[in-house]
Chains A and B, each alone.
Chain A
Amino acid sequence: GIQVEQSPPDLILQEGANSTLRCNFSDSVNNLQWFHQNPWGQLINLFYIPSGTKQNGRLSATTVATERYSLLYISSSQTTDSGVYFCAGPSGGSYIPTFGRGTSLIVHP
């Protein structure tokens, strides 16, 4: 099946810093999503981004489908951004997304 690699696995920031999270896929994907898992375990949709760039406040995402990667940018990070960020996407004719192992982000005040 498809392999999803996320980097870095862990990230520690001071409040106000910017960061870039990366997601690489071993095969072409569609329906790519980014999620944030909060400390209580809830997975929150951030972006549905099969290709191109989208922005939502301090967050933006870019997917380059032809090169099989996606990036999540977090600007002016806040302590509430802490948690684990996952990317996921299915490949081929499947609807079922495969998840990466996540990037664990800690933002210190």
Chain B
Amino acid sequence: KAGVTQTPRYLIKTRGQQVTLSCSPISGHRSVSWYQQTPGQGLQFLFEYFSETQRNKGNFPGRFSGRQFSNSRSEMNVSTLELGDSALYLCASSYQGGGANVLTFGAGSRLTVL
């Protein structure tokens, strides 16, 4: 069973640009969550998508957006990049059933903003 696949793994952008990150969940998982990890703030929740709908959203500005496609693959977009957006972006998929929500993470996309 393939795991969670995130692309690209590494990328470098300059301030003001935009970036799109992709996440392919485990087959059969309909929930995809995105997290931002920085040394100062730790792991912070961005948003969660379930069956193509944003079901939960963290406390991030509108520059951060996402979507989910009918095959459960998800993308997140950050527009007008700032230096502080440099971080490891982690995607997790889960099969939610029976009251359980067990997250499986991808390897992450490491974004550097210059």
Contact = CB atoms under 8 A, between A and B. Distances in A.
Interface of A: 30-31, 33, 35, 40-45, 48, 50, 86, 88, 90, 94-102
28 contacts: A30-B99, A31-B99, A31-B100, A31-B101, A31-B102, A35-B105, A40-B107, A41-B90, A42-B105, A43-B90, A43-B92, A43-B105, A44-B105, A45-B102, A45-B103, A45-B105, A48-B102, A88-B43, A88-B103, A95-B101, A96-B45, A96-B48, A96-B56, A97-B101, A98-B45, A99-B42, A99-B43, A100-B42
Contacts of B92: 43
B108 A90 contact: no
Interface magnitude class on chain B: 20 to 34
Q: DSSP class of B's interface residues: helix, strand, loop or mixed?
A: strand
A48 B100 contact: yes
Given A33-B102, A90-B101, A41 B108 contact: yes
- Chain A interface secondary structure, helix, strand, loop or mixed? loop
A99 to B, nearest CB: 4
A96 B34 CA distance: 11
B31 interface: yes
